[in-house]
Chain A
């Protein structure tokens, strides 16, 4: 199921692996993206730390790790063509996949309805 954070990231979870990206709302706020920096495969992330960077023409924005875990895959297409993230931020524009240290850590995150309310 899909969960959301108050830093405008989304996670799609299957078992202990989550796919992470930025929300459509975040992508719209950022505008045209020109550079994306992703964590390295194998990197150990701690919840709340800066995991990736997305840059628009005007500014760099940190993307935070919504949960703790190990990065098992990254979306190379996002790196070679940052605009692809803006086109479909909640689908083909995913950023990285993480194996959760603790599946229960998803419980505190928002569902789609709660995020829609939050992002207003």
Chain B
């Protein structure tokens, strides 16, 4: 790795476990381990996978007033979600918007009792921190947490983690708990990026390796690289910022309207008041002109990000593939992209251009693989 690439607290562990390291968002990250992408992906859905996601940004917002409601109100000027109604011990998905309603980043917001903790994408964390400081300085301190973050995902995740902390068994999807893990103070959420049940664990950097090795000592848990992380989230129909969502896409066309609650929409008690509100609230009522869709190539050829989409075998491009590859759990190629609303109904047949040929592709409902969240 070049000297410009940073290491996560688990770097030595990755090398010990045979991780193949690649630069990603300025960090040396394991794209796979000796098991390989297919086995790592399938193992996560069958048992449990452990992912190092320490490259992501963790940012704590602590209210000057001591009242988290004050930070929540301030944060609602940047996100089109219900932060004020977020209860202590709960987490919510959020979208950081720019003035035209485009998506600067997607993130999680957790209410940790005395503060809100945000988890943001690695590629955007420096810009996000600056943005939060510029807009929230009056309401709160903005602290970047120097902590490691690991994700334990899969149907076997609960069993593996309860061995270290029995209280996680009582957590439901999107719960947040502060608890002790191997004598360290951890922030644990029941959430993830794979479509499976699982946990994301924030831990002090100097305790990360011991925690990861303790989890990997469980025969059901394998280390999983970024390659499988991507195929897992694609099968789950989850957006990757920079591919499926970016400042050029708004939440409505991205299919993320569910994250905008009634209280922030027209007629709601706290309607609007976020960047791009006029455009977004209109799109919520009128419908977007284009939509993010799932795509299933009819043949075996994978269709990948950047491939143009066509309504028929001749004619000009009407859309584009934003993420694509192979779904190991489906044993078939899958993709996501944007199409005009009129072509976005599941079952619609469109064409993707791959190596100069137009291949038939069917619009498919998302997710491709049903979710396994522990909701009740």
Q: Contact residues of A with B, CB < 8 Å?
A: 31-32, 34-35, 37, 53, 55-60
Contact = CB atoms under 8 A, between A and B. Distances in A.
B192 interface: no
B318 interface: no
Interface of B: 31-32, 36-39, 41, 227, 230-231, 300-302, 304, 325-326, 328, 333, 355
A87 to B, nearest CB: 12
Nearest to A62: B355
Contacts, number: 39
Contact of B355 (A34, A53, A58): A53
Contacts of B31: 58
A32 B302 contact: no
Contact of B37 (A53, A56, A60): A56
B300 A57 contact: no
B301 A57 contact: no
Contacts of B333: 34-35
Given A35-B326, A53-B355, A58 B301 contact: no
A53 B325 CA distance: 14
A37 B355 CA distance: 11
A58 B31 CA distance: 10
Nearest to B31: A58
Given A57-B326, A60-B304, A32 B38 contact: yes
B224 to A, nearest CB: 13
B302 A60 contact: yes
A56 B227 CA distance: 10
B148 to A, nearest CB: 25
Contacts of A37: 301
A99 to B, nearest CB: 25
B205 to A, nearest CB: 29
